[in-house]
Structure 1
Amino acid sequence: MTNFNDRERAEEAKFAMDEDTLFRVTARRNRLLGEWAAGKMGLSEVETDAYRKAVVQADFEEAGDEDVIRKVLGDMTAAGLEVDDAMVRAALEEKMIEARRQLMG
């Protein structure tokens, strides 16, 4: 019975660690996406820092990535940029790869 309990605890610990890692990677990805969008919008360094944080905060509105995509797409469109949903989604995927490399590389 002890082996079963040890295995169960180990699996729970791995799940918790995997969830924590995913959270950190996603937050890093959102910061990178915010930095990318800020660069496209021509924001200053101070504005870019604030915008990165705002993109990370936007991810807490609902489950999934739609809230982040909606924010970035809306902000870039409001700034007068020619951007579409597919462009933001492609950047989001690219930034996810970059975030994983940064945190796990």
Structure 2
Amino acid sequence: MSGFDDRKKGQEAKFAFDAEKRFKAEARRNKLLGIWAAELLSLVGDDAKTYAAEVVAADFEEAGDEDVFRKVSADLKAKNIAIGDEVIRQKMQQLAILANEQIAAEG
């Protein structure tokens, strides 16, 4: 029975590790997206950092990526910046790949 318990604990630890890695990668992607959008919004310095943090925080409104997408899309539209929704979604996908690579490189 000890081997089974050890294997169960190992799988639980791997699940927790994978979940934490996913969370970090999503947060990193959202921060990178916020920085990208801040540049489009002509925000610099602390204003850009604050905006990126707001994008990260938007992800806690509901499950999935739609809350982050809606925030960035609405903010760009509010400033009359002509970036299509598909461009934002593509950028989110590109940044997700980059964020995963960065998290993996950090160990």
Runs of 4+ in structure 1 displaced over 6 angstroms?
none
Structure 2 residue 21 is matched with structure 1 residue 21: yes
Q: Secondary structure at the match of 2:23?
A: helix
If the length of structure 1 is used for normalisation, what is the TM-score? 0.97
Counterpart residue identity of residue 77, structure 2: T
Q: Tell me the residue number matched to 1:77.
A: 77
Alignment length, in residue pairs?
105
Equivalent-residue separation in structure 1 for 2:25 and 2:78 (angstroms): 28
Superposition deviation, residue 84 in structure 1: 1.9
Q: Secondary structure at the match of 1:26?
A: helix
If the length of structure 2 is used for normalisation, what is the TM-score? 0.95
Equivalent-residue separation in structure 2 for 1:4 and 1:44 (angstroms): 54
Considering only aligned residues, what root-mean-square deviation do their CA atoms show, in Å?
0.7
Structure 2 residue 26 is matched with structure 1 residue 30: no
Equivalent-residue separation in structure 2 for 1:32 and 1:55 (angstroms): 9
Structure 2 residue 99 is matched with structure 1 residue 94: no
Unaligned runs of 5+ in 2: none
